[in-house]
């Protein structure tokens, strides 16, 4: 916690927001980054832009929002106090949207965009990229160490390269410090189990999905998406596959070797089976296809809801994502 939010600014922003053009309202916003599901942006006058916001308009009522917030707070507490990951100061605020439903804003201190690992890997030489990924694997192994040691609580984590930033990184750096300090950002999907029971309501995932796909996602993907973040081998494959997305396929071979070396050596007690390049490649193909289809379906849904049914569509969608 520790971040004070400007509720007046957020209320003004929400009132004038056109989710299709978030950047061109009377209170301008600019996009800091897109994830698969959400958009992160900054709001207001240039000199006030020290905060990164994520807007979640998925809740039906305040009870649902409160339940989400308790999982969110507990997740952040687990990651920092129990596991020892670093987060930036954060906070949240909610208000009533135009539709009458609650809208939650999650906020974090904004950091230098180029210090995010998916940016830094384009600026650093090969050796340093390998050291960086080794450091990410080190952070992941802390989470799974906790899971192994704690009999009751099991934490899921999305270890993607774009979810980490390098503390103190300067875009002109070509070497990283001796001890690389990483900060974790993607806390908005608080996946953890207590005595085997998932604490996040999976229905929230489905809220922003196109209504004509909900049944299909529930049937085919939900179980898979909810469980993959608990499996360290899959989380690592996903991390390495990000290098395809980032147009750095020449790193994949080295990274697979690095991960296998790491899991056979210093993290051997976690029992992660060796990974192959083939697994990473086929995972990437399938994953990229799923998200491209999913985004197209959301755009079709937005078209139907706004142009055909003349209703509103509350979600901010990314433009074209390069893969
Ligand atoms: N606090 C922040 N400061 C600056 N940029 C950020 C911040 N948080 C997120 N971003 C940008 O937005 C991207 C997506 O954020 P993330 O929390 O991973 O959301 P998602 O759930 O959509 O993946 C990040 O990869 C980064 O580029
Ligand atoms: Mg992310």
Q: Which ligand is nearest to the CA of 39?
A: 1
Q: Domains, the chain, ranges and CATH?
A: 7-60+88-109 (3.30.200), 113-307 (no CATH)
Ligand 1 mean position, distance from CA 167 (Å): 15
Residue nearest to atom 16 of ligand 1 (CA): 186
**Cα angle, residue 221 at apex, residues 216 and 223 outer, rounded to 5°:** 120
How far apart CA 50 and CA 47 sit, in angstroms, is 8
Q: Is the dihedral of CA 139, 141, 145, 147 positive or negative?
A: positive
How far CA 54 is from CA of 104, 110, 159, in Å, comes to: 8, 12, 19
**Which of 2, 5, 35 has most ligand 1 atoms within 8 Å of its beta carbon, as the pocket-test mutant?**
35
pLDDT in tens, 213-257: 787 777 777 787 789 999 999 999 999 999 999 999 999 999 999
What confidence score (pLDDT) does residue 142 get? 98
Residue 112 CA, closest ligand 1 atom number: 4
What confidence score (pLDDT) does residue 323 get? 60
Ligand 2 mean position, distance from CA 145 (Å): 22
Q: Is the pLDDT of residue 99 over 90?
A: no
Q: Which ligand is nearest to the CA of 108?
A: 1
Contact 93, 107 (CB under 8 A): yes
Residue nearest to atom 23 of ligand 1 (CA): 35
How far apart CA 140 and CA 201 sit, in angstroms, is 24
Higher pLDDT pick, 139 / 210: 139
Ligand 2 mean position, distance from CA 308 (Å): 32
Q: What is the pTM of this model?
A: 0.92
Q: Look up residue 123 and give its two tokens.
A: 């600026």
Q: Is 52 in the pocket of ligand 1 (CB under 6 A)?
A: yes
Q: Is 32 in the pocket of ligand 1 (CB under 6 A)?
A: yes
**Paired strand residues for 132:** none
Q: Is 108 in the pocket of ligand 1 (CB under 6 A)?
A: yes
Q: Is 40 in the pocket of ligand 1 (CB under 6 A)?
A: yes
Higher pLDDT pick, 48 / 94: 94
Ligand 2 mean position, distance from CA 247 (Å): 17
Q: Is 38 in the pocket of ligand 1 (CB under 6 A)?
A: yes
Q: Is the pLDDT of residue 322 over 70?
A: no
Residue 38 CA, closest ligand 1 atom number: 22
Burial of 194 (0-12, 13-18, 19+ CB in 10 A): exposed
* Percentage of residues in the chain having pLDDT higher than 70: 98
Contact 236, 137 (CB under 8 A): yes
Ligand 2 mean position, distance from CA 252 (Å): 20
Higher pLDDT pick, 203 / 242: 242
What confidence score (pLDDT) does residue 250 get? 97
Higher pLDDT pick, 169 / 39: 169
């Amino acid at each position: 916690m520790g971040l004070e939010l400007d509720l007046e600014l957020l209320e003004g922003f929400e009132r004038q927001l056109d989710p299709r053009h978030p950047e061109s309202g009377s209170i301008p916003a600019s996009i800091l980054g897109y994830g698969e599901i959400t958009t992160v942006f900054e709001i207001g006058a240039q000199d006030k832009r020290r905060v990164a916001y994520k807007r979640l308009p998925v809740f039906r009522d305040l009870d649902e929002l409160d339940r989400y917030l308790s999982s969110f707070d507990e997740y952040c507490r687990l990651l920092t106090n129990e596991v020892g990951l670093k987060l930036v100061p954060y906070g949240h605020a909610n208000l009533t949207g135009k539709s009458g439903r609650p809208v939650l804003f999650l906020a974090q201190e904004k950091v230098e965009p180029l210090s995010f690992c998916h940016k830094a890997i384009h600026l650093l030489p090969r050796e340093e990229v390998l050291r960086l990924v080794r450091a990410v694997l080190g952070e992941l192994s802390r989470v799974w160490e906790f899971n192994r040691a704690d009999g009751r609580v099991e934490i899921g984590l999305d270890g993607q390269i774009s979810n980490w930033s390098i503390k103190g990184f300067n875009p002109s750096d070509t070497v990283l410090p001796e001890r690389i300090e990483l900060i974790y950002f993607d806390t908005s999907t608080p996946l953890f189990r207590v005595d085997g029971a998932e604490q996040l309501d999976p229905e929230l995932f489905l809220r922003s999905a196109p209504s004509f796909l909900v049944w299909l996602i529930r049937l085919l993907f939900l179980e898979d998406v909810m469980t993959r973040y608990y499996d360290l081998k899959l989380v690592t494959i996903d991390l390495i596959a990000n290098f395809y997305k980032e147009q750095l396929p020449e790193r994949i071979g080295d990274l697979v070797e690095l991960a296998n070396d790491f899991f056979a050596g210093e993290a051997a007690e976690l029992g992660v089976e060796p990974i192959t390049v083939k697994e990473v490649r086929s995972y990437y193909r399938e994953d990229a296809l799923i998200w491209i289809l999913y985004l197209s379906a959301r755009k079709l849904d937005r078209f139907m809801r706004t142009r055909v049914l003349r209703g509103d569509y509350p979600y901010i969608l990314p433009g074209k994502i390069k893969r």
